[in-house]
Amino acid sequence: MNSLIHSISGTRGIIGGNLHPSVALNIGIAFGTLIGKGPVIVGGDTRTSHAMLKSAIISGLTAVGTDVIDIGKVPTPTVQQMIKKYNAKGGIVVTASHNPVIWNGLKLMNDTGSFLTEPQFEEFNQVLNSTDASLKAWDTIGNVTVVEDALEDHINLILTKIDPTSIQKAGLKVLIDPNNGAGCIADQILLDRLNVSYTILNSTPNGHFAHDPEPLKQNLSQIITELEKGQFDIGFVQDADADRLVILDETGRFIGEDYSLAFCVDYILSEVKDTDKKVVVNLSTSGVIDWVAKKHGATLTQTKIGETNVTQGLKELGAQVGGEGNGGIIYPAVGWGRDSLVGIVIALKHLAEKKQKVSQIVANYPKFVMLREKQSLEKRDDVAPFLLKVKTAFPTASFNTLDGVKATLIDGWVHVRASNTEPIVRIFIEAPTKERAEDYLKQVLKG
């Protein structure tokens, strides 16, 4: 792949390949030109190229007169929370999220602590592609302030909004794998505050990931083996920038990204007093969320893929909870972004107050099988022909073309779309059984 991935979800590329420091410098110049004086919060995950890219970003921002608050190596949601605390005009996160170790990237946030909206992203691109940047003289360049307690501030906010008392009294035992990513330090602070017994796997925040950063079952053999010994009540895994969270039960069973989201949404909706309960998720989220919503008398709205689209839906509808089926819980009472630390607290409250095991709670949820596959593309022009395969394969289905093509079938659905973050087409399939889901996949691939 020669070109960078550049979308509303951020800019990503390969270090030593197509992601040069000049890319970060130019993004900093453009974002600072758009934002003005600022300040802008800058932080990122633990990847080895963190300092290189962050330095270039800060150089670009300050060169056009924008002030910077540097909060170091932190989870993406910590940057989002610090935007709110410091009344900043935006934020930039140095991260490639779940992408493999050779990647890094940049996520842009607006003054609400959310990803840029589509109009804001379009405006940013216009500035980025122009040559009109006005570099400031020595006496008007931006200032840089270093803040070292952002993690504590973030965790304090969470525990102010979500009462931890029931967790602190429950005597829970937790196993967590931040995979040498941004969750390493945050997890220790949070779990100490929650008064749980815990073990952290891969706890050095050095960016040398012990396994592929995407928290999928095939990448989690270490934590599964440890949980199978029967010494913990729950297992958690975070991606590299700690915005996504997946849950494993006390036996080491990976309950799935969508069921991890459902586990948290179920608890939140049970606590909502408002009779007008609302949930917002994206189009590729499992039907288990629809079941949970109906259980609590809540309405469900689905948006295009992408955190910014879910967040906009939450804001517009005044919904109490939402997220994405990749394990990303968004709880507006705390903030406008996916937050694994929020997910940990909510999941532990669910355990502490339900007084059941994870496996017992999840056993009450309907069983769906989700397949997540991807197909590499040579070029973006290959996307449209691939999407047509879905309509060819399922001519009697009902179709939604809000984001790619989603075919709703009698006993499941198939959703195919171009990735915002990688040069691939993503294929999401849900059905009652693995055999049926795999049959649908074969139909797509041969369509």
What integer best gives the mean pLDDT of the chain?
94
For residue 107, is pLDDT > 90?
yes
Which candidate, 287, 312, 263, 219, places its Cα nearest to that of 437? 287
| ∠ CA 360-173-343, rounded to 5° | 70
DSSP state of 430: E
Instruction: Give the model confidence (pLDDT) of 162-174 as tens digits.
Output: 999 999 999 999 9
Instruction: Give the model confidence (pLDDT) of 279-330 as tens digits.
Output: 999 999 999 999 999 999 999 999 998 899 999 999 999 999 999 988 899 9
Could you give the residue numbers annotated as active site?
Answer: 97
Instruction: Give the model confidence (pLDDT) of 236-246 as tens digits.
Output: 999 999 999 99
pTM of the model: 0.94
Instruction: Give the model confidence (pLDDT) of 316-362 as tens digits.
Output: 999 999 999 888 999 999 999 999 999 999 999 999 999 999 999 99
Give the bridge partners for 408, in sequence order: 398, 413
Asked if 117 and 111 count as a contact pair (C-beta separation under 8 A), the reply is: no
Q: What is the mean pLDDT of residues 87-116?
A: 96
* pLDDT recorded at residue 383: 81
Asked if 384 and 418 count as a contact pair (C-beta separation under 8 A), the reply is: no
Instruction: Give the model confidence (pLDDT) of 19-77 as tens digits.
Output: 999 999 999 999 999 999 999 999 999 999 999 999 999 999 999 999 999 999 999 99
Structure-block tokens of residue 398: 């009902």
Structure-block tokens of residue 424: 């691939």
Asked if 293 and 306 count as a contact pair (C-beta separation under 8 A), the reply is: no
CA distances from 202 to 73, 152, 178, 179, 250 (A): 16, 21, 6, 5, 19
C-alpha to C-alpha distance for 439 and 428, rounded to whole angstroms: 13
* pLDDT recorded at residue 163: 98
Instruction: Give the model confidence (pLDDT) of 177-203 as tens digits.
Output: 999 999 999 999 999 999 999 999 999
Residue ranges of domains in the chain, CATH in brackets: 5-148 (3.40.120.10), 153-362 (3.40.120.10), 369-446 (3.30.310.50)
Q: How many CB atoms neighbour CB 274 within 10 A?
A: 9
- Residue found under tokens 């669910």: 350
* pLDDT recorded at residue 1: 44
* pLDDT recorded at residue 3: 75
C-alpha to C-alpha distance for 367 and 434, rounded to whole angstroms: 11
